[in-house]
Amino acid sequence: MHDILPADQPYWKKINKAVESISNYYGFSRIDTPIVEQAEVFVKGTGQATDIVEKEMYTFRTKGGELVCLRPEFTAGVVRSYIEHGMHNLPQPVKLWTTGPLFRHERPQAGRYRQFHQFNFEVLGDRSASIDGQVIQMCYDVLKELGFKGACIEVNSIGDSECRPYFKKILASYFKSRKSSLCGDCQRRLKENPLRILDCKDEKCLQVKSGAPQIIDHLCEPCHTHFKQVLEFLDELQLPYTLNPYLVRGFDYYTKTVFEIIDKTDETTSKSSLVGGGRYDGLVKLLGGRDTPAFGAAGGMDRILSILRTKELKPDKKNEAPKIFLAQLGQMAKRKSLKLFEEFREAKIPVAESFSKDSLRAQLKAADKMGIKWVLIFGQKEALEDFITLRDMESGQQSEIKLDKVVTEMGNKINKK
């Protein structure tokens, strides 16, 4: 678990802003689901034999005896809300976006936190491949907007309940004959879900995996056609993608398309994915709703932030940083400055101050450090005679403004610039 420090906040704001504007543009509505939910929602939703449920969920019993958990992801909670609030009665598809904290008890390592944040897009009630293309595009756009140059999409299809069981059998028999070369976890996975072995990052398993059969060769006709269409959309959108036949993702709810976005130039997060998602046509029904196809994706905001910081992809501060500094001297000026400061706030003009510093020199120094253009000097004489001294920090020139005109005049100066 980690802090998002004041120095990180401009990056944080920039990420949030990019996500919100892209969500609005594509007609997504904001949803916020609770951080604590019935554990069952995620156990059923993401799958009993997934790493998330087996090892990573923060689950606990309330005093009333209910088994609840800190949400490890958004999707199952959003689907629960879609069902609970009868959103199938709305015009379909229902397009939802959200951001917020999630919790997974993972082994701490670069880019992996136990409390982390995602932006998340979900589209419920549409089975067409164009939705897959659109959500992938939106995720790519968020990264592009933030200045990422090396983002690359990896995409695969993992079939559906028609073709996947057969492929699992083929895969199981491939791995069975190589069982002794697999890690302990994967020997167990072989029984529960051999597909999960394809997701293992263990060196030994990676080697065995490299010769494994590929699901792409075993898709049923509808899954094959859907995947072909998705790739055509990605081509049309001119998105940089590669086929990764072993991409399966760590949730049981996925059907057909799965994808991840990696930053190839990143050195900080061990090339882990920045975004992951896919189609989950069976999840709404599994959680008690109607048969509803869906597609969604989520991006790791903490990973994105750490890359922005190391790559010095600095947020644009120009428009928000104050251009005015209010310096005050003496008790009476101090009192009146507080009021003036509030008047500036009401007029929505950002003004910096350093009320805790008493000497003018220290205050001017602080203003200079902030790169401020105008300093309003409010001393004893000014306070008594109701005027203020304006100092242009670039030219060093000073002039006087009547106190009741200060906010308007400074507003004009800023807007002229």
Instruction: Name which of 359, 281, 369, 376 is nearest 325 in CA terms.
Output: 376
73 lies in the site for ligand HAM, by CB under 6 A: yes
Rounded Cα gap, residues 70 and 34, in angstroms: 9
The verdict on 281 binding ligand HAM (CB under 6 A) reads: no
57 makes contact with ligand HAM (CB under 6 A): no
Q: How far is the CB of 111 from ligand HAM (least distance, A)?
A: 6
State the nearest-atom distance from the C-beta of 156 to ligand HAM, in Å.
Answer: 14
Closest CA to 403 of 313, 357, 347, 343: 343
Q: Cis omega before residue 93 (within 30°)?
A: yes
306 binds ligand HAM (CB under 6 A): no
Q: Determine which residue in the list 81, 98, 99, 118 makes contact with ligand HAM, applying CB under 6 A.
A: 118
Classify 280 as helix, strand or coil. Answer: coil
DSSP for 224-275, written as a single string: HHHHHHHHHHHHHTT--EEE-TT---S-TT-EEEEEEEEETT--SSTT--SE
CB of 397 to ligand HAM, least distance (A): 52
Closest residue by Cα to residue 259 from 269, 245, 270: 245
DSSP state of 87: G
Among 41, 139, 239, 275, binds ligand HAM (CB under 6 A): 275
Question: What is the Cα–Cα distance from 58 to 254, expressed in whole angstroms?
Answer: 23
Specify the residue, 257 or 354, whose C-beta has the smaller distance to ligand HAM: 257
Q: Are strands 374-378 and 324-328 parallel, antiparallel or unpaired?
A: parallel
Determine if 277 is a binding residue for ligand HAM (CB under 6 A).
yes
Residue 300 CB, shortest distance to ligand HAM, in Å, is 2
User: Which residue number, 160 or 353, has a Cβ lying nearer to ligand HAM?
Assistant: 160
Region of 271-279, 325-333, 350-358, 384-392 interacting with ligand HAM (CB under 6 A): 271-279
Out of 276, 282, 293, 322, name the contact with ligand HAM by CB under 6 A.
276
Query: Where on the chain is the footprint of ligand HAM (CB under 6 A)?
Result: 73-75, 104, 106, 111-113, 116, 118, 120, 122, 273-278, 280, 296-300, 302-303
